Each structure stands twice: as structure tokens, then as C-alpha cells.
Amino acid sequence: MKPKRAEVFFLPYQKAWIQDRARLRICQKSRQVGLSYADSYDSVRKAAALPGRDVWVMSRDETQARQYIRYCKHWARILDRAARDFQEWLFTDTCKPVQVQVLAFASRGTVYALSSNPDAIVGKTGHVKLDEFALHKDQRTLYAVAKPVIQWGGTLSVISTHRGAGTVFNSLIQDIQYRGNPMGWSLHTIPIQQAVAQGLVARIQARRAQGGEMGPFETPEEWIARQRSECIDEEQWLQEYCCVPADETTAFLSYDLITGCEETDCLRPAGYLATAPGPLYLGVDVARKDDLCVFDVGELAGDVMWDRLRLELAGRSFSEIEAELRSLLSLRRLQRACIDATGLGAQLAEQARERFGSKVEPITFTSAIKEELAYGLRSDFEARRLRVPRDEKLRADLRGIRKEVTQAGHVRFAGESSDSHCDRFWAKALRQHALRRRPRAGARVV
């Protein structure tokens, strides 16, 4: 295809993939950015060239294999390459037949597209494409079988959206990014933001118009915002669109724990707190420049703490943060507050303690304290002693915390979401700590 014509068919990230001549290529990508469409052109070019070489495309199922061959037929027509389309059956070592979609060229090179059964390509030679690799049930075996296929010449291409952090696919990505890339992969990363910046939305709208679909015009920013709003939660958005793998196995709080405590009728207007019938508790995670300063207020009803107010202050001055804190601490029903007294928070907590007395407990974050706070919050989720709103940002922070063990055997808690360092998690953990440390019956609260 001539360069000018390539501009018509492919966006920059698609062209970068097609033009990559590396022996080992790997791509982590967003959903539906047209990479399989571009890769099918690459397959036709490889198979139709002289001397032709076979291309083995391992799709996640037979439907995707048929779609891939349809793409290949499209490019064969555009490139004016004679090709014959048919189906055949391959027999594996276990004599189990596998249906294969075939596009054969006059060059004697052939594109074979089949569901990703590792046994089907044992003993074959040529190029290999592992499409949606992370979705395969036995990635390790598939890779072990696919790699020798290119030994006598050919390339290995791995394409996928993430499916959790514990996959072989993510392990390959981690090797490239953090372990010196020992295998020598050529890595392509295509989050949705990059695809949109390079023209994806305009391409989608043009395709819809050609098909006669009517709909409101969306700017790229509006289109991205809509895609994000249609995700169930932040983790789905990050994994399916932003190339950030989800890790259920190492998440400190599981989905089940969080969703088991979610309620639609939680948060209240700020004015409600002045007349709240139940005792109130406050947790404050302090930050001013880079992170959120989060105020989390809960109301105790029986033995269950209900989220009532969450204030998130970003880039505010110290005096503004202090004024908000003073207003909340002055509430008649506020029983106790735990305030992050680390760094910037030290002065804020000290001044609050001087003015409001034992109602305020400054908390200096150490590894031991953070462990106590984190496990205390998880215990409350496990016992369903709190109710939280269905809120994507909160859920992302709660899911974002990871428990890590250092080489010295020490436990530490770390994590971040799209707009914070899990500040909402720590504010809520401080609030629950305030409840557990409340004065005993008969004790005087200043």
C-alpha cells in the first residue's frame, strides 16, 4: 500500500504496528481501537508477498477467527491479491478436530485463523499472531507452543487487552517495563486516550455516517466521558480502556466486601449534619498540593456507620482547609475526629487539638499505624458495620490499596487511583478508627 493510501486507511498507532518489523512484537491496548483490523492487513501483506509464508492467527473463538478472515479478504481485494477463501479441519495430537478459517494466496502463503487451541499449531512454521492473548485459558502452554513456530523464520505478535494482573500476558509486559526486557520485545501501548488523540472518534463517526446511523455529534472529550460513564466502575475503565490490569488477588478490599456495604441513600447535604440525630465521626486525610485533602463524616445508627458527607479539597490553601475542619469539629453531634498528622497535617491537627481538646486525635502515619487503620477498615467491611455510597471514585480508592511485603519482611500499604493516592480510603479508615477509639461511657468529651 502506498504511503498516501495508508493515511486514508490507518491511524498513526495502527501504522506503527504495521510498520514494526521486530521479530517479537507485543501490544497492550484498549478495547475496540481497530488493531485487529490493522493487523489483518499485516497478515495479508506477509502471506501474499513472495516468497509467501504462512500466518497462524490464534483468535479467542471461532467467531473472531471468521471476522479476522473477513478483514483479510477486504485487504486482499484492496491490494489486488488473488486469494481463495475456504474452511478446513486440523487434527491435534489428541485427534480432536479444530475448524480453521483459511485464506490462501497465489504466493503459496496462507492465513490460517482459528480458535486458540495450542495443539493445532504444533509442528507448523511461519508467522504467529496471538490475538486477545490474556483471555486464553492456558496462556503459558499457548506461548510455549507458538514460540517454536517462528524458529525457521517469521515473527511472533501478541495483542491483548488486560485480563487481570496475574496473567502471563501481564508478566511479559512487566518484564519489558521493569526487568530490562530480557526477551527483546517491541512494545506498543494503546490506551483509549492515545487512540482518540490520533483520530479514533472521527473515524468512528465517519463509519456510522456511512452506515446511515444518525446521532448527536460528540467532541473527542465528550466521547471519552461517555465511554467512562458507561463503565460499571473505575476498575473496568482502567483495565478495558487504559491498559491498567486489575488485580483481584492482591486487592486489600474485594469487590464483594465493598458492594456488600454499598447503599444509594447514604450521603446528605452539608446542612443535615447540624441536625443529625445520631453521633457523628470524622476522618481527615490531609494534603494540599499534589493529593486530595479528604474530610469523611459518618453517622452511627445502631452499630452501623453511614457515610453522610465527603469533602474533597484539591489545591486549597492551609487557611481554607483549616476553616472547613473547624466548621465540622464545631458540630454539636460530632463525637470524635482522627486527623492525619503526618507532614502538613501536623500543624492542622495540633491546632485542632488545642481548640477542641480530646475530641481530636492526631494520627501520625507509620507502617504500624497504617496497618492498624487498614485492617480496622477491612474488619468493618467484613462485618458490614458501615454503609458507603455507590461512587466510582470512592470504589477506585478502596480497590486501589494493595498490601505489600518488603524484602525485609515488613508490611506496607500503597496504592493510587486515577486522581488520588487512595486518600478517600485513608480518610474513611481514620473515621472508623475514631469510632473504635471513642471515649468510654461516662467520659467527658470537650
Establish if 224 belongs to a structural domain. Answer: no
Q: What DSSP string runs through 318-382?
A: HHHHHHHHHHHHT-TTEEEEEEE-STTHHHHHHHHHHHHGGGEEEE---HHHHHHHHHHHHHHHH
What is the distance of C-alpha 230 from the center of its chain?
Answer: 15
Establish if 205 belongs to a structural domain. Answer: no
Q: What is the pLDDT of residue 407?
A: 63
Other CB atoms within 10 A of residue 87 CB: 11
Amino acid making up residue 116: S
Establish if 208 belongs to a structural domain. Answer: no
| Same domain, yes or no: 190 and 266 | no
| Same domain, yes or no: 424 and 320 | yes
Establish if 445 belongs to a structural domain. Answer: no
| Same domain, yes or no: 122 and 265 | no
| Same domain, yes or no: 187 and 261 | no
**CB-CB contact of 127 with 53 (8 Å):** yes
Query: Domain with 266 in it: what CATH number?
Result: 3.30.420.240
| Same domain, yes or no: 192 and 261 | no
Examine the fold and report which residue of 197, 213, 238 is the final residue of a domain before the chain moves on: 197
Establish if 233 belongs to a structural domain. Answer: no
| Same domain, yes or no: 189 and 259 | no
Query: Domain with 182 in it: what CATH number?
Result: 3.40.50.300
Q: What is the pLDDT of residue 208?
A: 80
Length of the chain: 446
By percentage, how much of the chain surpasses pLDDT 70? 89
| Same domain, yes or no: 283 and 417 | yes
Hunting for cell 461516662 — which residue is that?
442
**CB-CB contact of 242 with 30 (8 Å):** yes
**pLDDT band at 5; cut points 50, 70, 90:** low
Establish if 191 belongs to a structural domain. Answer: yes
Mean pLDDT of the chain: 88
- Domain tally for the chain? 2
| Same domain, yes or no: 146 and 272 | no
Q: How many CA atoms lie within 13 A of 376 on its CB side?
A: 19
Establish if 388 belongs to a structural domain. Answer: yes
Q: What CA–CA distances, in Å, run from 12 to 9, 28, 42, 160?
A: 10, 16, 15, 18
Q: What DSSP string runs through 205-222?
A: HHHHHHTT-------HHH
Output the nine-digit C-alpha cell for 202.
472521527
Residue 269 preceded by cis peptide, ω within 30: no
Could you tell me the residue range of the domain that residue 68 belongs to?
3-197
Establish if 54 belongs to a structural domain. Answer: yes
Q: Tens digit of pLDDT for each residue in 161-205?
A: 998 888 899 999 999 999 999 999 999 999 999 999 999 999 998
| Same domain, yes or no: 44 and 171 | yes
Q: What is the pLDDT of residue 217?
A: 81
**pLDDT band at 22; cut points 50, 70, 90:** very high
Examine the fold and report which residue of 197, 213, 245 is the final residue of a domain before the chain moves on: 197
| Same domain, yes or no: 96 and 189 | yes
Q: Tens digit of pLDDT for each residue in 66-124?
A: 999 999 999 999 988 877 877 666 655 555 677 888 999 989 999 999 886 788 888 89
Tell me what the mean pLDDT of segment 5-25 comes to: 89
| Same domain, yes or no: 12 and 85 | yes
| Same domain, yes or no: 267 and 346 | yes
Secondary structure element (H or E) that encloses residue 289, with its range? none
